Amino acid sequence: MVDCNGEGILFFEAFADATLEQLGDKILPPCPLLEEFLFNFLGSDGIIGCPLLLVQVTCLACGGFILALRLNHTMCDGPGAHLFLNAVAVMARGAQYAPSILPVWERELLFARDPPRITCAHHEYEDVLDHSDGSYAYSNQSNMVQRSFYFGCSRFMHCQCAGKQNNVHLPLGYYGNAFAFLAAISKAEPLCKNPLGYALELVKKAKATMNEEYLRSVADLLVLRGRPQYSSTGSNFLVSDITRAGVGVGDVNFGWGQPVFYGPAKAMDLISFYIQHKNNTEDGILVPMCLPFSAMERFQQELERITLEPKEDICNNLRSTRIMSMM
């Protein structure tokens, strides 16, 4: 429930004696100046009894600005935040005095069925035994490392496959939260012995199960099991692709033109993002990651091995795995 008390949101205005050019890559995730660009007001970072938004605008010496925002994720997801920012940008440009897409309240999306019933498999909420030695422990905050990786056309070739996508239809103007987790699972041995395409096929199959029935089944599971947390033993790694969700495409214009960067300021523990980003003149994907130190080192080694592999071999491996999965 939302307490509409009319008190507004937390808003800060700041000034920096630096230009955007001087900041350079410091605006990219993991942003080392995040605490300067988004002041963490005491008591504002909770879920219950806290403002829904924390916004800071930092004016730069060059005439540009940095807009940083923290939202309450229980109320809004990426596409909803994008709708909100677009609405503010339209009004900031003086185009009109109301959002171009008026918000709607879709009550049907917010409630489980009566009686609630779980109709889909939800591996992401299963209890998983943690067989790690502690080096990958999720709770070991001091062991986590933040790094970002950029994938451009010259470094990596994307092999795409045609397939039916089960879309979840939301009403125009729904600014709220409408996302759910789903999981692709595999034993370690086939994951290690098979080519990269094996893991890609698992992810594709998992994504194909996401539809409206799946979301309602998730809502019913939360009701029946008392809102359990998703498995967080260290065996889960969450990836959020915001390149196709209306987020990160750089079309939020407050009157200064398209932003130099638009997206999450950093990754979260074991949660990463795919962010559309242009590096110089090349369009690509920026991927911030936050992993335990040893896992990050191993990931970088594997990434170098994969990217040095001839592109023909990568696609052949993808095709061979795809053929095997259809037999």
Which candidate in 40, 73, 166, 316 is catalytic? 73
Q: Closest Cα to residue 258, out of 249, 267, 266? A: 249
Q: What gap in Å lies between CA 326 and CA 269, rounded to an integer?
A: 35
Q: What gap in Å lies between CA 52 and CA 70, rounded to an integer?
A: 8
Q: Is 73 a catalytic residue?
A: yes
Q: Using the CB atoms, write b or e for 242-251: b if 16+ within 10 Å.
A: bbebbbbbbe
| Other Cβ atoms within 10 Å of 240 Cβ, number | 19
> What count of Cα atoms within 13 Å lies in the side-chain half-sphere of residue 172?
4
Q: Is 167 a catalytic residue?
A: no
Opening angle at CA 292, ends 260 and 25, nearest 5: 20
Q: Closest Cα to residue 236, out of 269, 192, 265, 280? A: 269
Q: Using the CB atoms, write b or e for 188-207: b if 16+ within 10 Å.
A: eeeeeebbebbebbbeeebe
Q: What gap in Å lies between CA 48 and CA 96, rounded to an integer?
A: 33
Q: What gap in Å lies between CA 317 and CA 258, rounded to an integer?
A: 39
Which candidate in 72, 86, 236, 253 is catalytic? 253
Alpha helices by DSSP H, listed for the chain, are 20-23, 34-37, 78-92, 188-193, 196-208, 212-224, 293-308, 311-326
Q: What gap in Å lies between CA 261 and CA 251, rounded to an integer?
A: 11
Q: Which residues are catalytic?
A: 73, 253
